[in-house]
Amino acid sequence: MEIAKKRVSAVLTAPAPHMVGDGFRVHNFFPNGNRIKMSPFFLLDHNAKISFSARNEPRGMGVHPHRGFETVTIAYHGAIAHHDSAGNSGVIYPGDVQWMTAGAGILHKEYHEDAYSKKGGDFQMVQLWVNLPAKDKMSNPKYQGIRRQEIAQYALPDDSGTVDVIAGSYKDTNGSASTFTPINVFNVRLKKGRKASISLPENYNTGFLVIEGSIEINGVETARSNEFVHFENQGTEIEIEGLENSVILILSGEPIDEPIAQYGPFLMNTEQEIQQAISDYNRGKFGFLE
Ligand code: MN
């Protein structure tokens, strides 16, 4: 039986960037940039590669709350530091991933790591907001700081490249992050002129961001850095070929079929839960962070 290709529904160019605080110049591919089916991924911000000038006082985003979902930060260039009200802190270096479950509520701040800030230079990162199902929205905050060397890596045949399995599984290689719903997040590093085939469930919402380089998809479409390729919920196989040495962030997950109510940093199911989140935040229930 022939295996059905997962067809491209759209290749999306980067929406105009905006600043998050003074430290992150991001292109929001969704939900504001495009209305596409990507649940359980609610938001994708890409700080495409730029160079920040050296500065003693690190740029960043001051203390702010989250409730009802997870923030996933993936660094490609530069270094991002983080502190939260649950007492967790860390630095995300290139290839590292921070998987933070805000759950019932957390305060955190995100900014350029001190040594990077003083030196300046290339900076590139992705932040995802991964929704939680209603039953897990009020779970305890959790923090997974995953170093690049801890991320399971699958070596593609013929020395074509590697698949960093951040979450989910690629062939028999299982991802390092624990997730609440079935999710695949991979960094595929593909050499110029080499191919890889990625198999993902038909019903999973799927897309990928080209981080670096350019690729051909299924022998028909092409996408280059800072473009997002969105797929139809049909077929299972995607074939990619590196037109240059390329890095691709693949996102694929089982949709969470529940109503969404969002207000700023809160992602819940109902308007009443949003009002509750605002009230709880105003009454200091998210903890304290300087
Ligand atoms: Mn945040």
Does any domain span residue 39? yes
| For range 260-268, the mean pLDDT | 97
Give pairs for 273-281: CB < 8 Å, separation 24+. 273/68, 273/137, 277/67, 277/68, 277/105, 280/67, 280/105, 281/65, 281/67, 281/105
Does any domain span residue 278? no
Tens of pLDDT, residue by residue over 78-132, are 999 999 999 999 999 999 999 999 999 999 999 999 999 999 999 999 999 999 9
Question: CA–CA distance from 246 to each of 83, 93, 112, 142, 250 (Å)?
Answer: 32, 19, 25, 32, 13
d(CA 171, CA 183): 14
Percent of the chain past pLDDT 90, that is, above it, reads 97
265: nearest Cα among 97, 127, 80, 86: 127
pLDDT band for position 290 (50/70/90)? confident
Q: Which amino acid is at 14?
A: A
Find the domain containing 124 and state its range.
8-253
Q: What angle do CA 289, 22, 130 make, to 5 degrees?
A: 65
d(CA 57, CA 59): 7
d(CA 248, CA 258): 29
Tens of pLDDT, residue by residue over 1-60, are 567 999 999 999 999 999 999 999 999 999 998 889 999 999 999 999 999 999 999 999
169: nearest Cα among 189, 150, 154: 154
Spacing, Cα 60 to ligand 1 middle (Å): 10
Spacing, Cα 85 to ligand 1 middle (Å): 12
Question: CA–CA distance from 58 to each of 21, 63, 88, 200, 214 (Å)?
Answer: 11, 14, 19, 40, 32
Here the tokens at position 133 are: 């199902």
Does any domain span residue 210? yes
Does any domain span residue 91? yes
Spacing, Cα 4 to ligand 1 middle (Å): 39
Tens of pLDDT, residue by residue over 149-176, are 999 999 999 999 999 999 999 999 999 9
d(CA 214, CA 56): 35
Query: What is the CATH classification number for the domain harbouring 25?
Result: 2.60.120.10
d(CA 120, CA 214): 27
Cis peptide before 65 (omega within 30 of 0): no
For the chain, the straight-line distance linking the first and the last C-alpha, in angstroms and rounded, comes to 60
Spacing, Cα 72 to ligand 1 middle (Å): 9
Spacing, Cα 48 to ligand 1 middle (Å): 18
Spacing, Cα 70 to ligand 1 middle (Å): 9
Spacing, Cα 98 to ligand 1 middle (Å): 12
Spacing, Cα 242 to ligand 1 middle (Å): 33
Spacing, Cα 54 to ligand 1 middle (Å): 23
What's residue 2's pLDDT?
66
Does any domain span residue 96? yes
Spacing, Cα 248 to ligand 1 middle (Å): 23
Spacing, Cα 275 to ligand 1 middle (Å): 19
Spacing, Cα 56 to ligand 1 middle (Å): 22
Does any domain span residue 270? no
pLDDT at 237 over 60: yes
Question: CA–CA distance from 114 to each of 15, 54, 118 (Å)?
Answer: 30, 10, 6
How many domains in the chain?
1
pLDDT at 276 over 60: yes
Spacing, Cα 68 to ligand 1 middle (Å): 12
Spacing, Cα 106 to ligand 1 middle (Å): 9
Spacing, Cα 142 to ligand 1 middle (Å): 14
What's residue 194's pLDDT?
97
Tens of pLDDT, residue by residue over 59-75, are 999 999 999 999 999 99
Spacing, Cα 221 to ligand 1 middle (Å): 34
